[in-house]
Amino acid sequence: MEAAAAAAAPRPRATGGLTASTAGPHRACSSSWRPRQPRAASSFSSSGGGPADLGLLPRLRHSPSSAGRIAGGAPPPPVRARDSRAECAGPRSSAGHVGVNLEGENRALEMSSTVPKSSNIFWHDCPVGKTDRQNLLKQKGCVVWITGLSGSGKSTLACTLGRELHTRGKLAYVLDGDNLRHGLNKDLGFAAEDRAENIRRVGEVAKLFADAGLVCIASFISPYRRDRESCRALLSDGSFIEVFLNMSLELCEARDPKGLYKLARAGKIKGFTGIDDPYEAPLNCEIEIKEVDGVCPSPSDMATQVITYLEEKGFLHE
């Protein structure tokens, strides 16, 4: 009876070569254990179902030829080791990459990333391109980059411009500095390096919107000239339109719609642009909007000025 009960009991599962004691429901696991001796591999068929499939045999290190003999078949062909150097930067064939159409080894080298954190990546071209999307939308993708001091009217102009384009049947999207810091850039502060990363990310996103055929309206203080020029360099086809809201610090501080200048003057905000952090004005912007007699132009007037430029340059039609 006991032998029959023992035979009917489920076999214990080994973990890492250790076998737990299951002699009875009330017996504690013994601290002294002994690994089960593996059975001969030849006693199991290649169809599976033996203890090896249940994890009862320790994992064996064997050569490809021995693996074939264990399975009962002919030894498989030797596996050639891959060169890790070629994996990162060396020439490679497109045959090993599904969906990648490379024209020779030089093309592969051009498309392979050399950035250590993003090595071994390739650009994948799709049949529907920017021109196709622009023809569908009957407009040309571009980035309208609005820069200026806090309180100069950037967000107001961006939203007004987006509304005016919408009424004309043109697809636009606004990227606002404060809005993106609620999500995409919420991990960034206002130190110089964080400001640079903030603008870098926005530039890449804006480039995608322009590639989709949209008029992307980016509203950012973007105080450093170098960062803005880096974004311009992402769009080498002249579709980066820099709009400089050239409003004086006195005007912006008098308006102070968010109360930030007051906090900065009180020392409660550090590194505030125009107070204790510099703003580098554009040198060759496409559009410059100035105050008139110490007053900022109306949002509709500013939007009209930008739309006129977009029409003249052919961005609002095929």
Catalytic residues, by residue number, are: 222
- Extended strands (E) in 100-178: 142-147, 172-176
The closest of 121, 89, 82 to 106, measured between CA atoms, is 89
Query: What value, to the nearest 5°, has the Cα angle with vertex 61 and ends 58 and 62?
Result: 125
Amino acid, single-letter form, for residue 124: H
Strands 14-15 and 18-19, by their bridges, are: antiparallel
Tokens representing residue 67 in the block: 């693996």
Q: How far apart are CA 92 and CA 107, in angstroms?
A: 10
**Which stretch of DSSP H or E encloses residue 225?**
helix 225-234
Query: What value, to the nearest 5°, has the Cα angle with vertex 16 and ends 10 and 21?
Result: 40
A 10 A CB-CB count for 254 gives 11
The closest of 155, 309, 168, 176 to 241, measured between CA atoms, is 309
Q: How far apart are CA 227 and CA 193, in angstroms?
A: 11
Tokens representing residue 259 in the block: 């109360």
